């Protein structure tokens, strides 16, 4: 039985700035949702950024949306499943829905004493770990940074690219680390289909994929680009639901999908997209949104499903944070262990939560 929902806010600095085609992050501003039940409570982390530049969602807006629209839908017998059904009339706002869903799921799975991994159908106890490398100040910095991550054991490297910083980045990394390195690039929607011939130069480097080259809503452009280049096109920002995933695959706008639970409205929808891709033999991998341990734990559970055949953007906590909100996730021989305790399997450490503020407690009415 759900008794109340708490919102927790705070900030954790990144160990180094993270630059993408749309901006630079130096810290993570956080919103956690806590579902307090009669026996157990559960946590969910909102993946939205401070600014609406990765997608149209942003953190302050999520706080409002959760408070004003989502929490009022809850009743004491709400479950993650009933919440998602009742939130269907609310358009978009996937990241807001996802963090409420995760908190409820964590709480109810703790009541049922099963792990999120088991609930979702995980078949692995550890997952291969990739690292996302932000745009650096120079090629030398890039090669050095990639070398450091490889020395730590990351098995796959993703380079952030943008117009003016693309082909030569890939060339430099291939030259230094060879053709066997699992390598991919992510443009975060920075190109247009007019850049197709330019992007075709990437074909020479045997990349695993190019992620989200064109704007989120340019499905037609992705279809055209995917025909023109040999590098597999993977969609991230464009995939906001099971339906958008199915359409993108049917129209051959992409051949690989990055699944991010926050971007698709939660783990229940993420699982549906996984199942669709698994059925069709389409490779998927789990994306990341610089999550702290709460979101990272839940992503690990998802990434342990059998269709996640490519290493994802689930790095060790230390990739981003000197101190994580939870016990840190560590890299062991290129893998990260999937939590196997009940629910998401982790909680905020009390000494870390002390630096956070509980900004709201909303009582849930009995029904
Ligand atoms: O969690 O390691 C991570 C981040 C991986 O590159 C990453 N995420 O477009 O895939 C992506 C980006 C989105 C976050 S940019 C602030
Ligand atoms: Mg991406």
Which residue's CA lies nearest to atom 6 of ligand 1? Answer: 132
What pLDDT is attached to residue 94? 98
Query: Of the residues 118, 158, 200, 260, which is catalytic?
Result: 260
pLDDT at 367: 80
The model's confidence at residue 23, banded by pLDDT at 50, 70 and 90, is: very high
Q: What is the pLDDT of residue 158?
A: 98
Number of the ligand closest to the Cα of 319:
1
> Is 251:259 a contact under the CB 8 Å cutoff?
no
Give the CA-trace dihedral at 148, 308, 301, 331, to 10 degrees: -20
Q: Which ligand is nearest to the CA of 28?
A: 1
CB contact set of 233 (below 8 Å; sequence gap of 6+): 209, 210, 213, 222, 225, 226, 253, 254, 255, 256
Residue 358 is a catalytic residue = no
50-88: buried (b, 16+ CB within 10 Å) or exposed (e) per residue?
eeeebbebbbeebbebbbeebbeebeeebebeebbeebe
Q: Whose CA is nearest to atom 12 of ligand 1?
A: 289
> Which ligand is closest to the CA of 20, given by its number?
1
Around ligand 1, the residues with Cβ closer than 6 Å are 20, 25, 49, 54, 132, 186, 188, 236, 287-291, 313, 315
Q: Which atom of ligand 1 is nearest to the CA of 290?
A: 1
Q: CA 321 to CA 42: how far, in whole Å? A: 22
Atom nearest to 320 CA in ligand 1: 2
Q: Among the atoms of ligand 1, which is closest to the Cα of residue 131? A: 2
**Across 196-210, average pLDDT:** 98
Find where tokens 């992620």 sit: 211
Ligand 1 atom closest to the Cα of residue 18 is: 16
Query: Mean pLDDT throughout 268-278?
Result: 98
Q: What is the mean pLDDT of residues 26-53?
A: 98
Q: What is the pLDDT of residue 47?
A: 98
Contact 318, 15 (CB under 8 A): yes
Looking at residue 186, what is its pLDDT?
98
Indicate which residue of 68, 160, 271, 358 is catalytic: 160
Query: How many angstroms does the Cα of residue 63 sit away from the middle of ligand 2?
Result: 23
| Cα 252–Cα 257–Cα 258 angle in degrees, nearest 5 | 150
Q: To test the ligand 1 pocket, which listed residue (58, 261, 287) has its Cβ within 8 A of the most ligand atoms? A: 287
Nearest to 228 by CA among 188, 185, 189, 195: 195
pLDDT class for 198, splitting at 50, 70, 90?
Answer: very high
Q: What is the pLDDT of residues 83-129, one digit of tens each?
A: 999 999 999 999 999 999 999 999 999 999 999 999 999 999 999 99
Asked whether residue 300 carries a pLDDT value surpassing 90, the answer given is yes
Q: Answer yes or no: is pLDDT of 366 > 90.
A: no
Four-point Cα dihedral 90, 92, 94, 95, nearest 10: -100
Task: Please state the rounded mean pLDDT for residues 197-214.
Answer: 98
Q: Which residue, chain included where needed, has tokens 């699992």?
A: 182
Higher pLDDT, 142 or 366: 142
Q: What is the CB-side half-sphere exposure of residue 66 using CA atoms within 13 A?
A: 35
Going from the Cα of 78 to the center of ligand 1, the distance in angstroms, rounded, reads: 32
What gap in Å lies between CA 343 and CA 111, rounded to an integer?
8
Instruction: Calculate mean pLDDT across residues 166-173.
Output: 98
The whole-angstrom separation of Cα 227 and Cα 41 is: 49
User: How high does pLDDT run on average in the chain?
Assistant: 98
Say whether 118 is catalytic.
Answer: no
Residue 160, both tokens:
């952030």
Residue nearest to atom 14 of ligand 1 (CA): 289
| Cα gap 28→71, rounded to integer Å | 24
pLDDT at 24 (0 to 100): 96
| Ligand at shortest distance from the CA of 296 | 1
Neighbours of ion ligand 2 (CB under 5 A): 186, 211, 236
Closest ligand 1 atom to residue 158 Cα is: 6
């Amino acid at each position: 039985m759900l008794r109340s929902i708490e919102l927790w806010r705070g900030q954790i600095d990144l160990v180094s700035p993270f630059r993408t085609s749309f901006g630079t992050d130096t810290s993570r501003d956080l919103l956690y949702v806590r579902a307090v039940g009669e026996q157990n409570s559960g946590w969910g982390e909102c993946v939205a950024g401070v600014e609406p530049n990765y997608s149209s969602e942003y953190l302050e807006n999520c706080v409002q949306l959760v408070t004003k629209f989502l929490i009022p839908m809850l009743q004491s017998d709400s479950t993650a499943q009933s919440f998602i059904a009742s939130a269907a009339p609310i358009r978009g706002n996937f990241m807001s829905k996802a963090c409420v869903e995760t908190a409820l799921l964590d709480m109810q799975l703790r009541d049922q004493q099963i792990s999120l991994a088991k609930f979702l159908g995980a078949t692995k106890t550890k997952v291969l770990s990739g690292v996302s490398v932000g745009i650096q100040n120079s090629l030398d910095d890039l090669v050095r940074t990639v070398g450091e991550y490889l020395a730590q054991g990351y098995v796959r490297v993703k380079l952030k690219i943008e117009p003016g910083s693309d082909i030569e980045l890939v060339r430099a990394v291939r030259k230094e680390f060879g053709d066997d390195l699992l390598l991919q690039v992510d443009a975060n929607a920075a190109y247009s289909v007019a850049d197709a011939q330019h992007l075709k130069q990437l074909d020479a480097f045997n990349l695993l994929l190019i992620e989200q080259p064109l704007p989120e809503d340019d499905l037609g452009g992705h279809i055209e680009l995917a025909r023109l280049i040999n590098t597999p096109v993977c969609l991230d920002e464009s995939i906001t639901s099971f339906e958008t995933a199915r359409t993108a695959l049917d129209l051959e706008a992409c051949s690989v999908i990055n699944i991010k639970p926050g971007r698709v409205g939660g783990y229940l929808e993420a699982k549906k997209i996984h199942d669709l891709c698994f059925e069709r033999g389409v490779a998927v991998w789990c994306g990341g949104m610089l999550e702290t341990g709460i979101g990272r734990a839940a992503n690990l559970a998802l990434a342990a499903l059998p269709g996640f055949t490519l290493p994802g953007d689930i790095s060790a906590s230390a990739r981003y944070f000197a101190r994580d909100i939870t016990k840190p996730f560590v890299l062991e021989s290129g893998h990260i262990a999937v939590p196997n305790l009940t629910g998401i399997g982790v909680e905020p450490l009390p000494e870390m939560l002390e630096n956070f503020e509980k900004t709201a407690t909303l009582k849930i009415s009995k029904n």
